[in-house]
Amino acid sequence: MRELLAAISPCAQRRLRSLSRSASTTLQSMTTSDDDTHAKQRNREHELDLGSLYLSSAVAGAHRIGLQLTAEREGHREGALSLDPNHCGLSPWGDRTWCTQIAVRALQVTSTRMRALDPTGNGRVQHRLTSVEFVYESFNLIEYPKAALWYLVYTREAGGAWVVPLFDDKLLESYPTPLATR
């Protein structure tokens, strides 16, 4: 290696050393960046960002429901339940073609993993959502690990219960929906 360096000019030697240092720094930053990315992905795996498809019949006054929760700690998660009251038109594919523009209601919630056993023996897990905003209603988030499913059970004290399937909200992201013009 020394023989090779001696054979090239001092200017070329400096350039070669500079390139070597630059490549080393770039490689180190890429490795750090990859490590950071993997750590963030591991953290995201334990966070929940769920959403419903458009609901033609409103549930809890909403035509779309979203739930964002932090990673679970000692059986609890913190986050927000979003209730979107906007009416929308739908294409034959179920895509929203237009929507009204009413403010989405976001409620601060706490999720608590319950110790109740699944009566069907399917290993489902019940999470109770609580909020100071819930007066005559309750929400239970059901996790079905065997089927990789989540759904929300909404119950009103006056009677009635609704089941709303929830999906990874990233799967539901689409093009912006045009606003209703009336």
Whether 25 is in a domain gets the answer yes
**111 - beta bridge partners?**
77, 129
Same domain? For 98 and 14 the reply is no
Q: Model confidence at 181, in pLDDT bands (50, 70, 90)?
A: very low
* Cα 49 from Cα 107, distance rounded (Å): 15
Name which of 52, 60, 53 is nearest 161 in CA terms. Answer: 60
Name which of 122, 150, 152 is nearest 137 in CA terms. Answer: 152
In this prediction, residue 158 carries a pLDDT of: 82
Same domain? For 143 and 77 the reply is yes
Whether 38 is in a domain gets the answer yes
- Is residue 34 pLDDT above 80, yes or no? no
**Other CB atoms within 10 A of residue 101 CB:** 8
**Mean pLDDT value across residues 139-156:** 94
Same domain? For 114 and 65 the reply is yes
Same domain? For 115 and 80 the reply is yes
Same domain? For 108 and 18 the reply is no
Name which of 125, 120, 52, 117 is nearest 86 in CA terms. Answer: 52
**Mean pLDDT value across residues 69-92:** 94
Domain range for 6 is: 2-45
